[in-house]
Amino acid sequence: MFTEERQERVLVRLRRDGRVEVGALARELDVSEDTVRRDLRALAAAGHLQKTHGGAVALDPARMSWSAREHVAAGAKQAIGAAAAELVRPGQTVALDAGSTVLSLAHALLAARQVRPLTVVTNALDVVATLDADPDVEVHVSGGEWDRHSRFLAGPAAVAGVARYRADWAFLGACALDPEAGATSVDARDAAVKVAMAGSARRVAVLADRTKLGTTSTHVVLAPEAIDVLVTDVADVAEQWRGHPTAVVVVDPADRREGGD
């Protein structure tokens, strides 16, 4: 059995049962447990599942803690962040929310020395910590209540703080993204800050890896037609968004995957 065929069998079982175990898969596929573990590592790196002790579970990234989400599809997030950084021009003001994919953008902006000077408005202290050492990046923090689980500043003060600025770009992560429902969030407070960032910006880019696509959550952030640019790692998304004015940028994360995630 080829590797691709074996891994597809793993995903079929995962979609059916919600979880898989290394031993059971090894018996079913007639391969060693080490081979199954390698397959699970590869599938986790591609953002298809979350590894656990002895197996894996289906992903629900929107409800994971921030620290858990950070390692899901890490290579795709790096590639998406690098592509999004290419949209920024020197002298611009950008609003960055608190998603793990947007943090990858912050790291890419730190490395993009040609994008200076730069002004950043954010509700994410991790973004502040990333850009703090660069004297050519002016950072403004929204204020608000600190959420340890999701690592963002939220609440009325955060919304009001964001609304004080005017940005050239708002770069937003997405709990869920669908061509009919648009961008949505599992958290009302997160959604409120994202809405404020989008409202303060001339253009809005949504950064979403494959684990977020084709899904919806409870709280509306943006209608599909309000998204100017979508940066993702799924090639056929452009066809799905053909009926909207959204420009779709597709990245190839193959050369940016990190081992062990």
Tell me the CATH number at 36: 1.10.10.10
Q: How confident is the model at residue 66 (pLDDT cuts 50, 70, 90)?
A: low
Determine the longest span between alpha carbons in the chain, in angstroms: 61
DSSP β-ladder status, 93-96 and 167-173: parallel
pLDDT at 259 over 50: no
Its domain, for residue 178, covers: 69-256
By CB neighbour count within 10 A (0-12 exposed, 13-18 middle, 19+ buried), where does 114 fall?
Answer: exposed
Look at residue 256 in the predicted model and tell me its pLDDT: 47
- If one compares 182 and 259, the residue with the highest pLDDT of the two is 182
Task: State whether 34 and 124 are in the same domain.
Answer: no
Which residue has tokens 């629900």?
A: 60
Of 41, 59, 77, the domain-final residue: 59
Report d(CA 167, CA 197) in Å as an integer. 8
Q: Are residue 105 and residue 26 in the same domain, yes or no?
A: no
The per-residue pLDDT of the chain, averaged, comes to: 90
Same domain, 46 and 160: no
Percent of the chain at pLDDT > 90 equals 67
For 56, phi then psi, to 5°, come to -160, 160
Q: Are residues 210 and 121 in the same domain?
A: yes
What is the mean pLDDT of the segment spanning 105-132?
A: 97
| Final residue belonging to a domain, choices 26, 59, 92 | 59
Query: 151 with 43, same domain?
Result: no
Please name which of 28, 47, 27, 51 lies closest in space to residue 38, comparing C-alpha atoms.
51
Identity of the residue numbered 187: D
Distance, in Å, from the CA atom of 136 to the CA atom of 48, rounded to the nearest integer, reads 38
pLDDT greater than 50 at residue 108: yes
pLDDT digits (tens, 9 = 90+) for 133-182: 999 999 999 999 999 888 999 999 999 999 999 999 999 999 899 999 99
Confidence (pLDDT) at 61:
59
Provide the 10 A C-beta neighbour count for residue 23. Answer: 12
Long-range own/partner contacts, residues 48-57 (CB < 8 A, 24 or more apart) = 48/11, 48/14, 48/211, 49/11, 49/14, 52/19, 54/21, 54/22, 54/23, 55/19, 55/20, 55/21, 55/22, 55/25, 56/14, 56/19, 56/20, 57/14, 57/18, 57/19
| 46 band by pLDDT with thresholds 50, 70 and 90 | confident
